[in-house]
Structure 1
Amino acid sequence: MAVAAGLAVANIYYNQPMLELIEQELPDRLAGAIPTATQLGYAVGLFLLVPLGDLVERRRLIVVQFAALSVALALAALAPNAMTLVVASLAVGFLATVAQQIIPFAAHLASPERRGATVGTVMAGLLSGILLSRTMAGFVAAHFGWREMFWLSVPLSVAAAVLMGVVLPRSKPSSSMAYPRLLHSIWHLWRTLPALRLAALTQSALFAAFTVFWTILAFRLAEPRYGYGAETAGLFGLVGAVGILAAPLAGRFADRSGASRAVALGVAVTLVAWVIFGLWTSLSGLVVGVILLDFGIQAALISNQHIVFALRQDARARLNTVLMGTMFLGGAVGSGAATLAWQMGGWTFVSALGVIFATIAAGLQLAGSRRRA
């Protein structure tokens, strides 16, 4: 399940280190909207597709979604212009939410005392996909071309569909609601569960800070002071992969000591990372900052998932929809705002934007701790 989740989520990050190469081949202002379109597609898929995990048999849903994802990736590889690639990226993001079908299924299969560690393991696979996708895409794009990266991802999605069809057990739907009522119940969960709202809004602000960095990294490294291309931007995924260690560690910590402390720690580490990005402008500063950024984001996410999945056993897919949907809406906002900040004031404005998003997350956690007290 960890492998499949990583293969699925990787598809929404391939375009980030390749963006400069894409803009060279498809010179259009719309090309800059490709990462934002992918994030928006993922957010929409979280709200429209992920709730189906409470309604239909999960194994079949996961297999079908992987198969459809392979078709969307082929469309991206064939895109003749930037507009087509934006539409294809929207579809890729929409269908890549199959990763978020897998995570609540893992939580459902785990025993309560092992839920944090189990989710942490699957999330480690998902984080590997997020980070190593950039390394892989940067290498393939630099040596073979950006279209070839999308073509390579087509058989990977097909293989994930086969893998899940073979190894997953069948599941029984946890809800008998009609689909419109199921979607409406998401609002009820949001309105009645303050712990869900706090987790979702905190993670949204943190993920905005995360996507600010990764959206602009390729442009930052292409500046004359560095002079690096897509392959180097992708290699930063390997550096950030140190953050993979945070996922299982945070899950175990949440099992033993409670999740709120781990969330607060993740927020603090993310804020420190952006301070480093702003003040330590050498390549070493980028390396140290990205390790802290990825560690902080993942520690907070695993802990927030631990909190959320414990709220309602019969609604874990919808709870995950709220958490991850809000998070990726934040990611889309961060990606769009980062592009604007880069155009207006370069890295200084980008760093300030990252600090702002991390500070918002810190303020939310501080208000939540006061309310709990």
Structure 2
Amino acid sequence: MKSVTNTRLHPGLIILMSLATGISVASNYYVQPLLHTIAAYFRITNSTAGLIVTSAQIAFALGLMLLVPLADLIERKKLIVVMTLLAGAGMLVTAAAPSIIFVFIGTTVTGMFSVVAQILVPYAATLAQPEERGKIVGHMMSGLLLGILLARTVSGYCSTWFGWQSIYWLGAGMMFITGAVLGRNLPRYHSSIKISYPSLLKSTLTLFIDERVLRIRALLGAIIFCIFSILWTSISFLLANAPFNYSDGTIGLFGLVGAAGALAASRVGKLIDSGKTNLVTSLCIGLLLFSWFPLAVSKSSLLALIIGILLLDLAVQALHITNLSVLNHLSAESRNRLTSGYMTCYFAGGACGSVLSTVLFDYAGWLAVSLCGVTLSLVGVIVWWLSQRDNSSSTSTPAQGHHK
């Protein structure tokens, strides 16, 4: 099948792909402001309810490892549409769940196939002109993180007015509509790579051995999304209890604060395209560490909580865009496998963060959560400092050797 890599992305298609990315990934995050409500509904503990988030992230990581590389073998339009529809089917299972077991089953199915978002991002990068690639990835990743964050707001209000299941009925409908629209508008594209599926998976692992840049960026990605999950998994429990005692709808509003950070972070695409990836990385890691200082005292200050959320989400989104932009310059033929490897680590870190968050909150409250966030942020600072000290030029790629 003929390649379409020379097709220029028009604004309408960029918007459509960004929206599809956000809607797809949002399906894994509707549950976060509802954890205490679901715990009460099924009469389970907060820790057990927190495992719903963990199961979604583990399933997502498996999907990244096993399904995303298929985009280098199968015609992408067809693959994207089928996976979108299957993710919607998983949400129907959750919406109709008669017991917590079916919630876990539906969540796992949705998590596995919602990795379609991670096929859309490198697909957009493939269609983009080289000089616009960072900006396009920035738009796509803004759609992704906005989907994650706005999912909380929509979910909270749906739960308040119509019950916690309503967001899953709505989400399933959006996924089915998204699949139909993508099927009608996406251009067809088939990679020219001739390789078996087992060899494809093996080559993904081989990339970690061959590409030092991938190892560094994947480790940073795992750390930042672990921190992100630590905040957003436990914040539901913090805000539902004294001194706040907020409803699901009010808790969901805090997603809007994070969304503001995501929108601000989308502007880093221009800095990346001008060759400042290392500078952006350093600033983001420093900002991530600083964000935990207001977050640590947020139990007694709503303003501190809002400032901390804004700074943390800005840092995570900006660094995530930077990581993907760097990887997208490594190899056009390996782009999906590079994304698969990076995002598998990214969401594995998120799964660890959700487990850590619920356990620490149950054991020692918000202070323990904050100390964990600070500690992991310091680990990120050390990892980046060591990588730069060992070989500052190793984070550059052939296409961006001037990045400093």
Question: Considering the TM-score relative to the shorter chain, is it more than 0.5?
Answer: yes
Conserved in 2, the CA contact under 8 Å of 1:203 and 1:361? no
Tell me which amino acid in the other structure corresponds to 1:236. Answer: F
In 2, Cα distance between equivalents of 1:173 and 1:133: 33
User: What's the CA shift string for 1:277-302, capped at 9, x where partnerless?
Assistant: 11354111110000001100011011
In 2, Cα distance between equivalents of 1:55 and 1:371: 37
- 2:227 is aligned with 1:213: no
- 2:293 is aligned with 1:275: yes
- 2:28 is aligned with 1:28: no
TM-score, length-scaled by structure 2: 0.90
How many angstroms does 1:248 deviate by? 2.7
TM superposition outliers: structure 1 runs of 4+ over 2 Å: 28-32, 244-248
Tell me which amino acid in the other structure corresponds to 2:365. Answer: G
- 2:325 is aligned with 1:306: yes
Matches within 5 A, 1:81-120: 81-120=99-138
How many angstroms does 1:240 deviate by? 1.0
- 2:302 is aligned with 1:260: no
Conserved in 2, the CA contact under 8 Å of 1:75 and 1:88? yes
- What is the total number of aligned residue pairs between the two structures? 373
Q: Which residues of structure 2 form unaligned runs of 5+? A: 1-16, 393-404
- 2:19 is aligned with 1:3: yes
Quote the RMSD (CA, aligned, Å).
Answer: 1.1
Q: Please, which of 173, 179, 198 is the counterpart of residue 191 of structure 2? A: 173
Match in the other structure for 2:30: 14
TM-score, length-scaled by structure 1: 0.98
In 1, Cα distance between equivalents of 2:350 and 2:50: 15
Matches within 5 A, 1:194-343: 194-281=212-299, 282-343=301-362
Q: Which residues of structure 1 form unaligned runs of 5+? A: none
SS at match of 1:146: coil
Tell me which amino acid in the other structure corresponds to 1:111. Answer: Q
User: What's the CA shift string for 1:36-87, capped at 9, x where partnerless?
Assistant: 1111111111101111111111110000001111111000111111122112
In 2, Cα distance between equivalents of 1:90 and 1:362: 33
* Shift in CA distance, 191/25, structure 1 to aligned 2, threshold 3 Å: same
How many angstroms does 1:257 deviate by? 2.9
**Identity across aligned pairs (percent)?**
37
Q: Please, which of 128, 131, 139 is the counterpart of residue 149 of structure 2? A: 131
SS at match of 1:129: helix
User: What's the CA shift string for 1:280-338, capped at 9, x where partnerless?
Assistant: 54111110000001100011011111111111110100100111110000000000011
In 1, Cα distance between equivalents of 2:382 and 2:132: 31
In 2, Cα distance between equivalents of 1:214 and 1:174: 41
Match in the other structure for 2:159: 141
- 2:368 is aligned with 1:360: no
User: What's the CA shift string for 1:119-178, capped at 9, x where partnerless?
Assistant: 111111112101110000000011111111101111100111012112211002242111
Which of the pair is proportionally richer in helix? 1
In 1, Cα distance between equivalents of 2:204 and 2:65: 9
In 1, Cα distance between equivalents of 2:229 and 2:350: 6
SS at match of 2:241: coil
Tell me which amino acid in the other structure corresponds to 1:159. Answer: I
